[in-house]
Amino acid sequence: MRLLLLAALFGSKIVGAVPVDAAYEAAHSENRPAWLLKSDPNPGDRVPVDEQAPKPSGDPFAITDSSQTPLLGPLRWTTSFPDAIEADATLSLSWVGGYAPSGFEVFYIPTWPGQRMYHQHEIANTTDRNTVWSVPSYDFFPEDTTFIIGVKDGTGGPGGEWYDLTGPLPFVHLPDATEFEAAIAGRT
C-alpha cells in the first residue's frame, strides 16, 4: 500500500523503495556522519558537529553563549507580596519570564462584598520586568476591599504561561497597627 501511494505521488518513477521503518532507523541511528551541512551563512559549507551552536542549559533564562537568545519561560511574580496592601503606599513589583519586546500589562482588580462587576485598573504598560505601583487612597474603595494584582504578557495565548495573578490581598489604611492585624487575621 505504501509503495503504491509513493508511486502515485512520484509519477510511477520509483525504481526501488526502502521500507519506512528502515528509513526511520537510518535517519535516527547513531551512525550519522561527523559532518553536517551548515544552514547559514553559505548553504553547502561543512561544519563539524562539535562547532555547532551550543545547546541551551536546563535554566530557560540562562544564556550560555552570545549567539543564543533566551528561551521564553512562564511569566511569574518574583515580588514577595505583603499580607495586606497599605493605602497610599508604594509597592515595587517584579516578575520573570514572558517576552519583553511584546510588553507587559501590570494591573490590579479591586473586589469587595456584594460587587457585581469586576474591572481591572492599569498599574503600568512596560517592556521592563519591574515597576513601582503607587497604591490608591483608601477613600476610593468600600470597606473590606481586596486587590488581585496581575501581570500579563503582550503575546497572550492559551494556557497559564503568559500571565500571573496574586490571590486576594486585603486593602487597608494603617492609622495604627490594629487595623492591619485585623485584616491579616481575617485572611487566615
Q: What is the pLDDT of residues 87-119, one digit of tens each?
A: 999 999 999 988 888 889 999 999 999 999 999
Residue 67 resides in a domain: no
What pLDDT is stored for residue 176 in this prediction? 57
Is the bond preceding 41 in cis, omega lying within 30 degrees of 0?
Answer: yes
CA distance 185 to 183: 5
Residue 33 resides in a domain: yes
**Core vs surface per residue 63-99: b (16+ CB within 10 A) or e:** eeeeeeeeebeebebeeeeeebbbbeeebebebebbb
Instruction: Report, as ranges of residue numbers, the positions in the chain whose pLDDT lies below 50.
Output: 3-7, 9, 12-18, 32, 35-41, 63-70
What secondary structure letter does DSSP report for 158?
S
Give the mean pLDDT of the chain.
73
Secondary-structure percent of the chain, ordered helix, strand, coil, rounded to 5: 20, 25, 55
Please tell me whether residues 104 and 19 are part of one structural domain.
no
Residue 71 resides in a domain: no
Please tell me whether residues 85 and 130 are part of one structural domain.
yes
| The total number of structural domains that make up the chain | 2
Position 158: which residue type?
Answer: P
What pLDDT is stored for residue 165 in this prediction? 94
Please tell me whether residues 112 and 157 are part of one structural domain.
yes
Q: Whole domain around residue 146: which residue ranges? A: 76-187
What pLDDT is stored for residue 43 in this prediction? 54
Residue 84 resides in a domain: yes
